[in-house]
Structure 1
């Protein structure tokens, strides 16, 4: 009986998936293909194993969704984490979800090009004024790794008066407000959260 080249699980007729060097099971295929989003046919065994390991490293059983903002941000207040789902519509490529501890997040802000105050931009959008923006992002920094994280809401030029821009701006404001709300709490001695 044939077994999976990665985990050695027995393969049946309908639960084996071909890659360059042989076959793997459905669970390993899910990991190597990023939830069935990428093809693995031309990948060799070492590449398949590396993808499975990378997938395992990014997974966490300690994430319970307590809040969500569109397809951009998942929140777990119970475990004090956030997740960027990185779906293809947002990221424009296949990428694994990213998890961050809320305590490691700092300096969240909305960035727009051309630069202008967000209140002014919102006023222009409400009044349906002409103009375009090249991109709209929410950026924040991760303390320990000194990593800059960006949530891109608009990555191509968009008209300020368009519905798509107005919606994206609202999502950006909600993301910024939520991250600032989450990071403005600090554990007190009694174990409850208190605003600072």
Structure 2
């Protein structure tokens, strides 16, 4: 096939316009279908047509999760994290109209880790000498800037991490107000994600643990607590 031969999307079947082709491992993808993929997905070129179709089906089903998502806690700035603590779900998005963006809704149990890197950049300050040349100070002087970069590790078929910068603007003073604000926000995100991850792991271990009979302190019957930790006879809490 020639460079300018007509190409058709192997997912939707529509004709692909000039410069609109997104190559797949075994086919072609139009830019409209590519827009529907997860924003955290980066393996498009190494994906087959079948894998892309599978992800687009997942993204279509995700629309219902977004519609049912009710935020109970919000953290962030440029990248904002929303938590639905009742459904034990969360999402991350840069879009202000987040429902329209169809962000990936994930379960708390999909969080596998969270790391923070504070990157320091150094730029040497110089001045002009009598001849107008830019020269270093003696001793050299520098100005510094800091970026708070967070990586959330997740268990998903389509991506393994979500990377973003905590601070929206350049931070020029270590320990200054902007630096402390970014550190506080990063600590809050990390603490919450770690807490929900650990809670999910404990719930899984508890569910796998063998059930033991106890004596109900209310009706005094020997009972096996139900899933809510209540007596199977009188319904009172026994744990």
TM-score of the two chains, using structure 1 as the length reference? 0.52
1:151: how far off?
3.2
8 Å contact from structure 1 (residues 73, 83) kept in 2 = yes
- In the alignment of these two chains, the number of paired residues is 129
Question: RMSD over aligned Cα, in angstroms?
Answer: 3.6
Instruction: Name 2:223's counterpart in structure 1.
Output: none
| 1:108 alignment partner, SS class | strand
Structure-2 change in CA distance of 1:191 and 1:67 (3 Å): farther
Instruction: Name 2:70's counterpart in structure 1.
Output: 64
Deviates more, 1:158-167 or 1:67-76: 158-167
Instruction: Name 2:196's counterpart in structure 1.
Output: 182
1:85 to 65, 74, 93: 93
Structure-2 change in CA distance of 1:65 and 1:113 (3 Å): same
1:181: how far off?
0.8
8 Å contact from structure 2 (residues 116, 149) kept in 1 = yes
Instruction: State the Cα deviation string for residues 64-117 of structure 1 (Å, max 9, x = none).
Output: 2121224421111222211113236xxxxxx652322211111212111149xx
C-alpha distance in structure 2 between counterparts of 1:84 and 1:100, whole Å: 9
Structure-2 change in CA distance of 1:156 and 1:68 (3 Å): closer
| 1:166 alignment partner, SS class | helix
Instruction: Name 1:73's counterpart in structure 2.
Output: 81
| 2:181 alignment partner, SS class | helix
2:171 to 154, 158, 181: 158
8 Å contact from structure 1 (residues 85, 96) kept in 2 = no
TM-score of the two chains, using structure 2 as the length reference? 0.43
1:172 to 155, 176, 186: 186
| 1:158 alignment partner, SS class | coil
Structure-2 change in CA distance of 1:50 and 1:138 (3 Å): closer
1:102 to 104, 108, 111: 108
8 Å contact from structure 1 (residues 138, 175) kept in 2 = no
2:147 is the counterpart of 1:141? no
Instruction: Name 2:45's counterpart in structure 1.
Output: none
Instruction: List runs of 5+ in structure 2 lacking aligned partners.
Output: 1-19, 21-29, 38-55, 122-142, 208-225, 230-239
Structure-2 change in CA distance of 1:112 and 1:66 (3 Å): same
Structure-2 change in CA distance of 1:192 and 1:136 (3 Å): farther
| 1:177 alignment partner, SS class | helix
Larger radius of gyration: 2
1:144: how far off?
3.6
